[in-house]
Amino acid sequence: MRCFFHLVNDHEEIVDNTGIEVHDLESAKAQALLAITELRQEIGVDIEDWSGWRLDIVCPLGRLLHSMMLNHTVH
């Protein structure tokens, strides 16, 4: 299945138009955690910068499959 990973807060949305193929939702969640780790390396670890942001995993039809708050997953 193809999943898309959108970065979202109350005012902005950074849309993933490419997505990736995964076997199941658990694989998508693992890929999301990897993406968050990469973002942390690129942007920085200051937890205040992540406040209010989440990573939404959505299907090709736009249905929300899972959501992760970035300030709760970045340690």
Euclidean distance between CA atoms 46 and 61, whole angstroms? 34
Q: What pLDDT score was predicted for residue 24?
A: 96
Q: Which pLDDT tens digit goes with each residue over 44-53? A: 666 556 778 8
Residues 6+ apart with CB under 8 A from 62: none
Q: Which pLDDT tens digit goes with each residue over 14-42? A: 999 999 999 999 999 999 999 888 877 77
Q: What pLDDT score was predicted for residue 57?
A: 97
Give Cα separations from 32 to 8, 14, 38 (angstroms): 13, 14, 10
Q: Any idea where the domains of the chain sit in the sequence?
A: 2-69
Beta bridge partners of 6: 56
